[in-house]
Chain A
Amino acid sequence: MNFPAELRYTKEHEWIKVDGDVAIVGITDFAQGELGDIVYVEIETVGQTLAENDIFGTVEAVKTVSDLFLPIAGEILEVNQTVIDSPETINSDAYGEGWLVKIKPSNLADVEALMDVDTYKQHIGL
C-alpha cells in the first residue's frame, strides 16, 4: 500500500493535498482496498460550504456503502467527473486520477491538525 508523504490524512481514511488556496480530497489506498471494487460515486454537494467531518458524498462498492467525510471545513468547488463516470479509477489510482473533490478551505491552516503519513500508518496498524 502506498501513502504519499506530502499528504495529510484523516481517521475516516480520506487524504487531502493543499494546492495554492485550494485543496484536493480523496480516499486512501487503504480505504479503496477495504471497500473493494468501487462501482458508484455520488457527490452532489458542489457549491455547498460544509464543516469538518460533514458528509460530502457516498462511495459504493459492490457490497458496501460508505460515506465520505470532509477532512476540513470549506466550500466544495468541483467534483472529479472521472470518478463519477468510472468509479474504478479510485481503485486503480487513489491519489492521482481517482481524486474526489476540490475544495476552498475555510481556513487553510486546519490541514495542519490532520494526521501526517506516519501517524496515519499507525492509525491503520502499519
Chain B
Amino acid sequence: MEQTEQLKLVFLNDVHVALGAKMVPFAGYSMPVLYTNLIQEHLAVRNSVGVFDVSHMGEFVVKGERATEFLQYVTSNDVAALYDGKVQYSCLPNDKGGIVDDLLIYRRSENEYFVVVNASNIEKDWNWMQSHNTFDVEMQNISDGISLFAVQGPKGVATMQKLTDLDLGSMEYYTFKEGTVAGIENVLIATTGYTGAGGMEVYVKNEDAKTMWDAIFAAGAEFGIVPVGLGARDTLRTEMGYCLYGNDIDDTTSPIEAGLGWITKFNKEFVNSAFHKQIKENGPTKKLVAFEMVDRGIPRQHYEIMDATGNIIGEVTSGTQSPSLNKGIGLGYVAKEFSKLGTEIYINIRNKYLKAQVVKLPFLK
C-alpha cells in the first residue's frame, strides 16, 4: 500500500459533510464518526431507528459451479447450511492459526454468493481468496460501486416497509430479499446489522444512493430517524459483544479462542481446520471474555487485565462506557482459568487495579 494514499470517500460524502458530521479517517476512508451527540445517536438506534452509511464495506461476487465448494474451503462456517436468501456470519481462517477477516455470506443461488468484508481488509481478503481459488470460481470486487446503509433499531423494518411491496415483516433474522425499494430496482435488503437493535441493511448502486438515503429519512421521519456515526456503531456493537476485526480478532487469534466456535464447523475441511479442531478438542489456552466494571472506571483497548495478586493475565481488546447501561464494559483475552462467568478480574486503568467481573454476553439483555 502506498504511504501517501489519499483517503477514499463514500459516495454520499458531501451529504455527511453538509449534515455537519465529524469526519475521521477509518479503514482508508473519510467516515462520519459523529453527527451531533454519540449517546443520543446510540439511544436512537436502541429505542427507535438510526441510519449508518457503511459504504466503506467491501463486496465481492463469487460465482461458479464450484462456488459452494470454494467458500466451504476458505471460510470457517458451514456454507452448505445456507439456502437461497439466507445470510451467514463466518470468517476466513489464515494458515497461521489466525483470521484473515470476518465476513457475511449471502447465498443468491447454489452457484452465486455475495460476500461482504471489512473495508480495511478488502485487498487482503481479495488476494487471500484468489490465492485459494483452485475451484474455477469467478470473483468480482464490486466494492467501489455499492453503497450500504444500515437502518438499525426496533423501527428499522417499519421504516423500510414503507418503501417497498416486499414483505419485510415476515423475514427471519439473517435473510435477504432482492426487489424494488424506494422505486429503485434490484435493491438487496437484509435483516442483518451490527447493533443488536434489529433493523435492516440495504445495498444499492452508487447512482441510486442519494435517492435511497433521502427516501429512508422521509420514511423514518415519524419515528424520529437520525443519521448515526461510527462512534455509536462501536458502542452499540460492544454492548452486544460483537467482535470487531482489528480489535477482538486478527491475524493471530483463533476463532475458537474468540468465542466464534459457533461459526467454526468441523463437519467439513477448511483452511487450517485441523489446527483449530485441535484447539477446540484440547481447549484454548486463552479466551475472549466479556466483563463489566465493578469499580468505577472505563476500560479501553490495550489496558492490561490482572488477577487479584497483580499478575497480568490478559489485555482489553474493546472497551467503552456503555450508554445503555451507564457502566464500563469490555472484551479481552484472558488465560483460560480466568474465563469462567463470575470470575473477578482487575483492569489496570492508569496504574490503578479496578475490579471487574466476567459476564455472559450480550451485556445488554
A42-60 to B contact mask, C-beta < 8 Å, 1/0 = 1000000000000000101
Give Cα distance in the complex from A88 to B323, angstroms: 13
Q: Which of B288-340 contact A (CB under 8 A)?
A: 296-298, 300, 320-321, 323, 326
Of B34, B231, B298, B350, which is in contact with the most chain A CB atoms at under 10 Å from its CB? B298
Range class of the B interface residue count: 10 to 19
Q: Contacting A36 at CB < 8 Å: which of B34, B297, B320, B326?
A: B34
Q: A60-B321, A63-B231, A63-B234 are in contact. Are A40 and B37 (CB under 8 A)?
A: no
- Tell me the minimal C-beta distance from A48 to chain B in angstroms: 15
Task: Decide: B38 and A58 in contact? CB cutoff 8 A.
Answer: no
- B39 touches A (CB below 8 Å): yes
Of B234, B297, B350, which is in contact with the most chain A CB atoms at under 10 Å from its CB? B350
- B235 touches A (CB below 8 Å): yes
Q: Contacting B37 at CB < 8 Å: which of A36, A42, A58?
A: A36
Residues of B within 8 A of A (CB): 34, 37-39, 231, 234-235, 296-298, 300, 320-321, 323, 326, 350
Task: Decide: A37 and B37 in contact? CB cutoff 8 A.
Answer: yes
Shortest Cβ-Cβ A-B pairs, 5 listed: A39-B321, A37-B39, A62-B38, A60-B298, A62-B321
Task: Decide: B296 and A62 in contact? CB cutoff 8 A.
Answer: no
Residues of A within 8 A of B (CB): 36-37, 39-40, 42, 58, 60-63, 65
Q: A36-B38, A37-B39 are in contact. Are A62 and B300 (CB under 8 A)?
A: no
Task: Decide: A62 and B320 in contact? CB cutoff 8 A.
Answer: yes
Give Cα distance in the complex from A37 to B37, angstroms: 7
Point out the residues of chain A lying under 8 angstroms from B296, CB to CB.
40
Point out the residues of chain A lying under 8 angstroms from B37, CB to CB.
36-37
Task: Decide: B350 and A58 in contact? CB cutoff 8 A.
Answer: yes
Point out the residues of chain B lying under 8 angstroms from A62, CB to CB.
38-39, 231, 235, 320-321, 323
- Tell me the minimal C-beta distance from B352 to chain A in angstroms: 9
Point out the residues of chain B lying under 8 angstroms from A65, CB to CB.
298, 300
Point out the residues of chain A lying under 8 angstroms from B320, CB to CB.
62-63
Of B38, B235, B297, B326, which is in contact with the most chain A CB atoms at under 10 Å from its CB? B38
Give Cα distance in the complex from A70 to B32, angstroms: 33
Give Cα distance in the complex from A37 to B320, angstroms: 12
Residue ID in chain A nearest B328 by CB atoms: A40
Point out the residues of chain A lying under 8 angstroms from B326, CB to CB.
39
Residue ID in chain B nearest A88 by CB atoms: B39
Residue ID in chain A nearest B34 by CB atoms: A36
- Tell me the minimal C-beta distance from A92 to chain B in angstroms: 12
Give Cα distance in the complex from A37 to B235, angstroms: 13
Residue ID in chain A nearest B350 by CB atoms: A58
Task: Decide: B231 and A40 in contact? CB cutoff 8 A.
Answer: no
- Tell me the minimal C-beta distance from B226 to chain A in angstroms: 15
Give Cα distance in the complex from A65 to B298, angstroms: 9
- Tell me the minimal C-beta distance from A85 to chain B in angstroms: 11
Point out the residues of chain A lying under 8 angstroms from B321, CB to CB.
39-40, 60, 62
Residue ID in chain B nearest A58 by CB atoms: B350
A-B contact pairs, 14 of them (CB 8 A): A36-B37, A37-B39, A39-B321, A39-B326, A40-B296, A40-B297, A40-B298, A58-B350, A60-B321, A62-B39, A62-B320, A62-B323, A63-B235, A63-B320
Point out the residues of chain B lying under 8 angstroms from A61, CB to CB.
38
- Tell me the minimal C-beta distance from A43 to chain B in angstroms: 12
Using A36-B37, A37-B39 as known contacts, list a sample of 5 further A-B pairs with CB atoms less than 8 Å apart, ordered by residue number in A: A37-B38, A39-B298, A40-B296, A40-B321, A42-B350
Point out the residues of chain A lying under 8 angstroms from B234, CB to CB.
63
Give Cα distance in the complex from A61 to B297, angstroms: 12
Give Cα distance in the complex from A39 to B234, angstroms: 16
Point out the residues of chain A lying under 8 angstroms from B231, CB to CB.
36, 62-63
Residue ID in chain A nearest B300 by CB atoms: A65
Give Cα distance in the complex from A61 to B22, angstroms: 15
